[in-house]
Amino acid sequence: MNYFYFNPFSKQYYFPEGFKNIPLFQSFYQPYTSSGRLLWFVWKNSSLVRRFFREKAIEDILPINRFKKYIPATSILAINRGTPGIEQKMSVLAYDPENGKEYFIKYADSEIACINVENEGKILAQLNHLDFVPKLQHQVSRSDYALIQTNILKGERLLTQNVDKQLLQVLLTLVKEDVNTEKKFETELISCFAHGDFCPWNMMLDGDQLNIFDWEMAGTYPLGFDMFTFIFQTSFLLRPKVGISQLIKETEPFIKSYFEKFKISDWSTFLNAFASIKLDTETQKNNQRLIPFYMQLHNYAKKT
């Protein structure tokens, strides 16, 4: 089967021939910028354009045969190779036309990425009772790769940060979870279980329910870590020109309402802990895109 890669400059997403006839694949790529939306519209709707981005021998590029060890061999796959770097991993959507079933696979073959995928599997196994979390169906940990298979969450990809009601409900639910975690970022402050990468691109809105996926960074963090991630990480990446003071002003009512649930009036120490952890982790990854923002936030939090 022929595959076509998108975007044309990075070869990150691979879609099979006839992908437009499979509803599962339609929302796999979700652009967040106007230029991205335009590029995706042209690429998706023009077979002539896609001809220039064809890959005939997909098995020579991606480990298709490994994926098909765990799902029916007749399955059709769409693949996201992931963001290049030490934590790069692949995400796979699979549809089997013979039985109509759908599958999700996350796959890693580098040391750090394997650790993260293994962590996600362990976390999902403990969160099986939550209806907004993917259900773990299969987990593989080998010396050369790690893989998890789950069901596929339904809903629309979140394109806005304006979901306060659903967001608060999920955040308060996670705080109550007693989860055995290996990623521990505890401080002298109150700590709790957290998703760790609580951003809109890891969420889907299904009616009034906010579904959360991509749990590989889940662990123990200072209280408020997920909320601050949603506010600051999202804005640093999607609205980089918005200053920290303005972000605080926009979101302070929500921040206060969250911490009031725990009878905490001074949340500045929790913001400082969040900024310190994020600065350390992004520095370890050498993420030059985010390091300057978290350095600014860390300095801001120390002064408040």
- Please work out, in degrees rounded to the nearest 5, the angle formed at the alpha carbon of residue 278 by the alpha carbons of 267 and 31: 105
pLDDT of residue 165: 84
What is the reported pTM? 0.91
Rounded to the nearest angstrom, the gap between the alpha carbon of residue 300 and the centroid of all alpha carbons in its chain is: 27
pLDDT digits 0-9 by tens, 46-93 = 999 999 999 988 888 999 999 999 999 999 999 999 988 888 999 999
Cβ proximity of 225 and 190 under 8 Å:
no
CATH code, 68: 3.30.200.20
Quote the tokens at residue 41: 């519209």
Residue 197 domain boundaries = 156-303
Residues 6+ apart with CB under 8 A from 21: none
- Give percent of the chain with pLDDT exceeding 70: 98
| Same structural domain, 213 and 124 | no
The count of structural domains within the chain is: 2
At 40 the pLDDT is 92
pLDDT digits (tens, 9 = 90+) for 19-54: 999 999 988 888 878 888 899 999 999 999 999 999
What CATH code is carried by the domain that includes residue 263?
A: 1.10.510.10
Q: In terms of domains, do 121 and 167 share one?
A: no
Yes or no: say if 205 and 166 are a contact pair by the CB < 8 Å rule.
yes
Quick check: 218 pLDDT over 80? yes
Burial of 178 (0-12, 13-18, 19+ CB in 10 A): exposed
Is 138 found in the same domain as 44? yes
> Which of 150, 173, 192 corresponds to the end of one domain?
150
Pick from 132, 150, 168: which residue ends a domain?
150
Give yes or no: residues 97 and 19 share one domain.
Answer: yes
What is the average per-residue pLDDT within 212-218?
96
Q: Token digits for 32?
A: 């967040």
Within 10 A of 62 (CB to CB), how many other CB atoms are there?
18
CA-CA distance, 190 to 222, in Å (whole number)? 6
Residues 161, 299, single domain; the answer is yes
Q: What is the mean pLDDT of the chain?
A: 93
174-199: pLDDT as tens digits: 999 999 999 999 899 999 999 999 99
Query: 């802990």: which residue's tokens?
Result: 273
Q: Model confidence over 96-143: pLDDT tens digits?
A: 999 999 999 999 999 999 999 999 999 999 999 999 999 999 999 999
Same domain, 71 and 97: yes
